[in-house]
Chains A and B, each alone.
Chain A
Amino acid sequence: MIGLSKKEENIMKLKKFAALLLAGAMTLSMAACGTGGSGDGSGASGAGTGGSSNNTSSEASGGASGGSSNAVSMENAECTLEMWCIATESDSNRHSYEAAIDEMKTEYPNITLDWEAFENQSYKTKIKAAVAADEMPDIFFTWSCAFLGDFVASNKVYCLDDAYQEYKSELPEVMMGNSTYDGKHYGVPLTMNIVGLFANMDLLKEAGYDEIPGTYDEFIKCCDALKEKDIIPFGCAGSETWCVTEYLESVIEKSIGADAMNDIFLGRATWNNPEVAAAVDTFQSMVNNGYFDPNGISLSNDEVKANFMAGKYAFYMNGTWNCADFANDANFFPKVKVAEFPVINSDKAELGQLIGGPSDTLAVAASSENAAIAAKYTFELGKRICHYGYLDGCGLPAWTPYGDTSSVNALTQDVANICNAAKAYVLFGDTAMNADEANTYLDYVAQVYGCKVDGQGFIDGLTKDIR
């Protein structure tokens, strides 16, 4: 932005965000997990949300939000709210939560927020147990689409329709899509993220590359060149299968296209697709060619990320929330660049087809004694978490950004540019599918990474095991 005045910079940023929001609109029209699509997203499973989405929260919304929350004023309310989230000390989002909560304390001193953060995997267990036992906190972190959908179908989540009216201008309807069920809003989105191909440019330079290769053939040549230099091209945490999906889903998407992939994830088409099998074989050939760290299968994502930042791997495909951690490491940050995975089959796929979308969400328990106040508080808090999260580089904003955003790190700005050029999004598979199907899917993904099944085995197994 050298040579531009502050005003011009701001105008450029506004343009970027307008484009970003359009991309978001595309996301949700493709993912269609929400409005009318609750059945699609979570309901492909029959027993999941879809089966019960007809009675989805009519009671919760009718009962719990019956009294218009617009009539509730947070300024006059005296209460204590409890919140659970996953922003632990080591989480990239920790600072954004702390900053947002501090701001809320100053602005609403009459409302006390008791908040606790839990480790990601154990939180999934904890929140489900709490929902089952009706012991939910007033406000809770959740993933959108099928994960939240199950709670909504059980009438455990407070409908946010009334509270949302006040924030419509700041939080576009399209960003609410993944937490909308039967036309009702149940979640406040925070940030949105995509899968990014992060590269250690120092290692690429050793292999003779100044930029991340833009075509698949060049990309494979680059991997071979890296191997010749005894540099491991990819790091992938096999002990956390969602990390493998970041690679596999990108390969499948860039082989069969976003539309076909959305159809499969959302239950509109079966897994019995030979093109998927071929894409899985492509991924597996990368594993068999030694492009992946063979020890990665026993490593956690934290360990793999640490290895990448320590210069062990040339590439790391993972969520763009990692931009915050990369930006915070002064030594590593100048070395890292981000790009999207190259197109494998240009007849079916194209650049701009991305994996990701808004998933991190805050929701309010229907059982909360102060649900109406909690709803408003959640919107205000969510807006601030989104703001600080964006400034920290934890993701792109689901809310219309406000204030000075010039300090956003260059890597996150690159991600914003990738999203500006987005043509379609496919939501993360384990978020789009209901819990049972998602775990069956993850089981097969793990087997693909371990070369226990090939592409044909993958589609045969999923066709048989996913209803």
Chain B
Amino acid sequence: MKNKTYKYVTVFLFLLPALILFIGVLIAPIVMSLVYSLFDLRSVSTEGMEFIGLGNYKELFTSGSISFWKALGNSMLLAVLSVFIQLPLALGLALMLGKGIKGERAFLSIYFLPVLISTVVIGQLWRKIYNPDYGILNAVVGSGLMPQGGWLGNESSALWCVFIPTLWQYVGYHMLLMYAGVRSVSPELREAAKLDGATDGQVDWYIVIPSIKPILRVSVIFAITGSLKSFDLIYVLTNGGPYHATEVPSTLMISMLFERNRYGMGSTIAVLMIALCFAFAIIINAVFKERDIYGKK
């Protein structure tokens, strides 16, 4: 009994530093955000803040001028594009490189390079690409195709112009995750399938992809939660403009917190973003858990 207690105390003591860090860095700020979201807080000081209950949430969902629905819609669209364009691209590259083609290492490094470059640098780079006066995009497609106001200045084109580099930047990241999975698939399995007459495509579809399903699940979670949290590239390229066309919840949150000094409303958006990320992570886990890799319930 004494030994058992001693063991628990030891485990607890070893876990304590990580627990303190976890609570201090993650849990406490979430709780504080939750508390602030219930107050009308419009100053850097908490003095004089007024408890308004769910007032901020109500205003967020009903106020036309805050355009939260628009921001949420943009995020969801980005999430859909991430899952249906970014991840298939990454999977295709991972499967291709996983076959051990010539220059595999070099291609890996090249595809992964955008992940290593600072997002601000990438943002500035793409700003130059879209520049209406000297941008390379106009040189390629011709300035006649450029919409009124420029690629980033037109409401209908700005959203796509922001999404393209956002999706492009992280293709390499997901590719690397999937590539690790593809390389871990036993060569014997591949050879056995080949001996049975399977084509390369069939090997990938029936052997490799089911084997890396846990990694695909992680990639889908990262892609969707990453889309909901997307901020830096959009901030650099358009800062949510023109006329909120490229607004996402995080740019809206920054605007509320640091441009409008509406700390209560900013906290409300932060809480909703956290809740959405958790909800999606749970849903995706549930979807992937439904069948295991051998297709059994």
A residues in contact (CB < 8 Å) with B: 47-48, 51-52, 124-125, 128-129, 131-132, 150-151, 153-156, 238-239, 294-299, 303, 307, 312, 434-436, 439-440, 443, 446-447, 450, 452, 465
Contacts of B262 in A (CB 8 A): 436
Asked if B258 contacts A129 (CB within 8 A), the reply is: yes
Distance from B138 Cβ to chain A, minimum over Cβ atoms (Å) = 10
User: Assuming A150-B44, A439-B260, A443-B65, what are 19 further A-B pairs, CB within 8 angstroms?
Assistant: A47-B42, A47-B43, A48-B261, A124-B258, A128-B261, A129-B258, A151-B44, A154-B43, A155-B45, A156-B44, A294-B150, A295-B132, A295-B133, A297-B242, A298-B149, A303-B133, A434-B261, A436-B261, A446-B242
Contacts of A297 in B (CB 8 A): 149-150, 153-154, 242
Distance from B32 Cβ to chain A, minimum over Cβ atoms (Å) = 12
Contacts of B40 in A (CB 8 A): 47
Asked if A294 contacts B261 (CB within 8 A), the reply is: no
Known A51-B48, A295-B149, A298-B149; contact A124-B259, beta-carbon cutoff 8 A: yes
Q: Determine which residue in B40, B151, B243 has the highest number of CB atoms from chain A within 10 A of its CB, and name it.
A: B243
Asked if A446 contacts B243 (CB within 8 A), the reply is: yes
Contacts of B248 in A (CB 8 A): none
CB contact between B259 and one of A239, A307, A439, A450 (< 8 Å): that residue: A439
* B263 within 8 A of partner (CB): yes
Give bound CA distance, A153 to B148, whole Å.
Answer: 44
Cβ < 8 Å to A, chain B residues 237-272 = 238-239, 241-243, 254-255, 257-263
Q: Determine the residue in chain B with the shortest Cβ distance to A154.
A: B45
Give bound CA distance, A296 to B131, whole Å.
Answer: 10
Could you show 24 A-B contacts with beta carbons less than 8 Å apart? A48-B42, A48-B43, A52-B48, A125-B259, A128-B257, A150-B44, A154-B43, A154-B44, A154-B45, A154-B47, A238-B153, A239-B241, A294-B149, A295-B150, A297-B150, A298-B149, A298-B151, A298-B242, A299-B150, A312-B133, A435-B259, A435-B260, A439-B260, A465-B65
Give bound CA distance, A156 to B43, whole Å.
Answer: 11
Cβ < 8 Å to A, chain B residues 72-102 = none
Known A150-B44, A156-B45; contact A239-B239, beta-carbon cutoff 8 A: yes
Contacts of A447 in B (CB 8 A): 243
* B221 within 8 A of partner (CB): no
Contacts of B261 in A (CB 8 A): 48, 128, 150, 434-436
Distance from A269 Cβ to chain B, minimum over Cβ atoms (Å) = 22
Give bound CA distance, A52 to B132, whole Å.
Answer: 46
Give bound CA distance, A298 to B130, whole Å.
Answer: 9
Q: Determine the residue in chain A with the shortest Cβ distance to B149.
A: A297
B residues in contact (CB < 8 Å) with A: 40, 42-45, 47-48, 65, 130-133, 148-154, 158, 238-239, 241-243, 254-255, 257-263
Known A238-B153, A295-B150; contact A128-B243, beta-carbon cutoff 8 A: no
Known A47-B40, A124-B259, A150-B261; contact A450-B149, beta-carbon cutoff 8 A: yes
Distance from B45 Cβ to chain A, minimum over Cβ atoms (Å) = 3
Give bound CA distance, A397 to B254, whole Å.
Answer: 34
Contacts of B130 in A (CB 8 A): 298
Give bound CA distance, A132 to B44, whole Å.
Answer: 5
Contacts of B257 in A (CB 8 A): 128
Q: Determine which residue in A303, A307, A440 has the highest number of CB atoms from chain B within 10 A of its CB, and name it.
A: A303
Distance from B256 Cβ to chain A, minimum over Cβ atoms (Å) = 9
Nearest 9 interchain pairs by C-beta: A298-B153, A154-B45, A298-B150, A297-B153, A295-B132, A125-B258, A298-B152, A435-B261, A47-B42
Q: Determine the residue in chain B with the shortest Cβ distance to A126.
A: B258
Q: Determine the residue in chain B with the shortest Cβ distance to A435.
A: B261
Q: Determine the residue in chain A with the shortest Cβ distance to B259.
A: A439
Asked if B241 contacts A446 (CB within 8 A), the reply is: yes
Contacts of A439 in B (CB 8 A): 255, 259-260
Distance from A58 Cβ to chain B, minimum over Cβ atoms (Å) = 13
Give bound CA distance, A430 to B262, whole Å.
Answer: 16
Asked if B263 contacts A132 (CB within 8 A), the reply is: yes
Give bound CA distance, A447 to B43, whole Å.
Answer: 27
Give bound CA distance, A452 to B150, whole Å.
Answer: 16
Contacts of B47 in A (CB 8 A): 52, 154-155
Give bound CA distance, A303 to B150, whole Å.
Answer: 13
Contacts of B151 in A (CB 8 A): 298
Q: Determine the residue in chain A with the shortest Cβ distance to B244.
A: A443
Distance from A463 Cβ to chain B, minimum over Cβ atoms (Å) = 13
Give bound CA distance, A297 to B153, whole Å.
Answer: 5
Known A238-B242, A294-B148, A436-B262; contact A153-B45, beta-carbon cutoff 8 A: yes
Known A155-B45, A303-B131; contact A436-B243, beta-carbon cutoff 8 A: no
Q: Determine the residue in chain A with the shortest Cβ distance to B152.
A: A298
Contacts of B150 in A (CB 8 A): 294-295, 297-299
Give bound CA distance, A434 to B260, whole Å.
Answer: 8
Distance from B81 Cβ to chain A, minimum over Cβ atoms (Å) = 22
Distance from B131 Cβ to chain A, minimum over Cβ atoms (Å) = 7
Q: Determine which residue in A52, A156, A297, A298 has the highest number of CB atoms from chain B within 10 A of its CB, and name it.
A: A298
Contacts of B260 in A (CB 8 A): 435-436, 439
Contacts of B239 in A (CB 8 A): 239
Give bound CA distance, A155 to B47, whole Å.
Answer: 10
CB contact between A298 and one of B44, B45, B132, B258 (< 8 Å): that residue: B132
Contacts of B254 in A (CB 8 A): 125
Contacts of A154 in B (CB 8 A): 43-45, 47
Give bound CA distance, A125 to B242, whole Å.
Answer: 20
Q: Determine the residue in chain B with the shortest Cβ distance to A306.
A: B133
CB contact between B152 and one of A47, A52, A239 (< 8 Å): that residue: A239
Give bound CA distance, A137 to B153, whole Å.
Answer: 37
Give bound CA distance, A435 to B44, whole Å.
Answer: 12
Contacts of A52 in B (CB 8 A): 43, 47-48
Contacts of A434 in B (CB 8 A): 261
Contacts of B263 in A (CB 8 A): 132
Distance from A237 Cβ to chain B, minimum over Cβ atoms (Å) = 10
